[in-house]
């Protein structure tokens, strides 16, 4: 696990939120494998975790984050999106008063591996590939619910 000199995905408005705690780290595989560009690399995942004081604080953060989502793309609650430009494959997990964003590089993307990884996570929603689509996969909010709008 690495915690210094991390870049990762631009998370839009979520990065500007006041949180109780936040952390960003990179998990890296122990062994090297070949990526989509033919390079021998250690596969990695960037993990951002944001914890809020209360559920109300999390709801307000989501309300501000969805219009200015990852790489400043707009997302609507409960609505799938066919294309999210410049967004790396990601899984977002919302649990209690915390939001975890797990992102891997497009050069490391493999659809079968990503599906397996996503299935192992207790996901709220995840994007299925480089530049989308974004699909709500579990407990999607009702598009008519005004909580995050």
Q: Who wins on pLDDT, 10 or 146?
A: 10
In a domain, 2, yes or no: no
Reported as a single tens digit per residue, the pLDDT across 114-144 is 777 777 664 444 444 565 666 666 666 677 7
Reported as a single tens digit per residue, the pLDDT across 103-113 is 888 888 888 87
In a domain, 4, yes or no: no
3-state secondary structure 64-106: HHHHHCHHHCCCCCCCCECCCCCCCCEEEEEECCEEEEEECCH
In a domain, 104, yes or no: yes
In a domain, 145, yes or no: no
Reported as a single tens digit per residue, the pLDDT across 10-23 is 888 999 999 999 99
Return all residues near 13 (Cβ < 8 A) that are at least 6 apart. Answer: 64, 65, 67, 68, 69
Sheet of strand 90-95, all strands in order from the earlier edge strand to the far edge: 21-34, 40-51, 98-103, 90-95, 125-127, 134-136
User: Range of 27's domain?
Assistant: 12-136
| Whole-angstrom distance, CA of residue 131 vs CA of residue 149 | 23
In a domain, 29, yes or no: yes
Domain count, the chain: 1
Among 138, 141, 98, smallest CA distance to 121 is for 138
In a domain, 88, yes or no: yes
Residue 31 pLDDT > 80 = yes
Reported as a single tens digit per residue, the pLDDT across 53-85 is 999 999 999 999 989 988 888 888 877 777 777
In a domain, 6, yes or no: no
| Whole-angstrom distance, CA of residue 71 vs CA of residue 84 | 9
């Amino acid at each position: 696990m690495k915690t210094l000199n991390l870049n990762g995905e631009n998370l839009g408005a979520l990065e500007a939120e006041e949180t109780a705690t936040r952390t960003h780290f990179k998990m890296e595989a122990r062994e090297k494998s070949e990526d989509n560009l033919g390079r021998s690399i250690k596969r990695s995942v960037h993990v951002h975790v944001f914890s809020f004081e209360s559920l109300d604080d999390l709801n307000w953060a989501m309300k501000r984050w969805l219009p200015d989502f990852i790489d400043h793309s707009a997302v609507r609650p409960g609505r799938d999106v066919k294309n999210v430009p410049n967004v790396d494959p990601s899984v977002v997990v919302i649990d209690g008063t915390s939001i975890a964003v797990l992102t891997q590089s497009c050069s490391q993307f493999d659809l079968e591996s990503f599906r397996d990884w996503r299935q192992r996570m207790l996901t709220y929603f995840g994007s299925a590939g480089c530049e989308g689509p974004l699909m709500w996969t579990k407990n999607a909010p009702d598009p008519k619910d005004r909580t995050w709008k």
